[in-house]
Amino acid sequence: MRRDFLPQDHPMLRQHAEPVTAFDTPELHALVQDMFDTQFAGNGVGLAAPQIGVPLRVIVFAYNGGDRAPGAPPIPPTALINPVLIPDPGPIQEDWEGCFSVPGRREQVPRWHAVSYQAQDLQGRPVSGRAEGFHARILQHEVDHLDGTLFIDRLSHGEPAPCPTPAQPED
């Protein structure tokens, strides 16, 4: 079921979300399904639970190719519970981001090119991996939401840069 987004000024978007401690529950499965439904309904590439008013450390993401990130490989629909990111030593890259929680705005945001992650799945089993490029960017954007950080907090420049694509929310 598609859920509504909290408004940009809602205090929950600025709070530290709580770890999930109960796994494989009907409530957790329903939350993740609602998050995917909401992400896909908005043509997004990712979503964090606090954006729909649930202050838990849950993120989802998926990318099926297309013009949002030309050349980036598709990412299957993935839910990560209690994710932790470890940046790879290496370059920081700027690229365009938008956010369901910051409607109508897109900016160049600096992110680590690659990150390793550790998390749990819906059953509480440990999962880990490494992501690069657009995949790593989505992970950093969504985990930021769990710590009360929005992409507009990470801008390295003072003036909004010209936007090369029509404004649309995506995460």
* Active site annotation includes 142: yes
Q: Which is nearer to Ni ion, 107 or 171 (CB)?
A: 171
Q: How many residues bind Ni ion (CB under 5 A)?
A: 2
DSSP for the chain reads: ---PPPPTT-GGGGSPPBPP---S-HHHHHHHHHHHHHHHHTT-SEEEGGGGT--BSEEEEEE--STTSTTPPPEEEEEEEEEEEEEPSS-EEEEEE--TTSTT--EEEEEESEEEEEEE-TTS-EEEEEEEHHHHHHHHHHHHHHTT--GGGG--SSSPPPPSS------
Rounded to a whole number of angstroms, the minimum distance from the CB of residue 145 to Ni ion is 6
Does residue 75 touch Ni ion according to CB under 5 A? Answer: no
Site residues for Ni ion, 92-131, by CB under 5 A, read 99
Site residues for Ni ion, 149-168, by CB under 5 A, read none
Does residue 79 touch Ni ion according to CB under 5 A? Answer: no
Q: Cα–Cα distance between 141 and 145 in angstroms, integer?
A: 7
Q: Which is nearer to Ni ion, 20 or 109 (CB)?
A: 109
The active-site residue, picked from 97, 107, 142, 170, is 142
- By beta-carbon distance, which residue lies closest to Ni ion? 99
Of the candidate residues 50, 108, 119, 171, the single one contacting Ni ion (CB under 5 A): 171
Q: Cα–Cα distance between 93 and 95 in angstroms, integer?
A: 7
Does residue 17 touch Ni ion according to CB under 5 A? Answer: no
Rounded to a whole number of angstroms, the minimum distance from the CB of residue 168 to Ni ion is 13
Does residue 146 touch Ni ion according to CB under 5 A? Answer: no
Active centre residues (catalytic): 142
Q: Binding residues for Ni ion, per CB under 5 A?
A: 99, 171
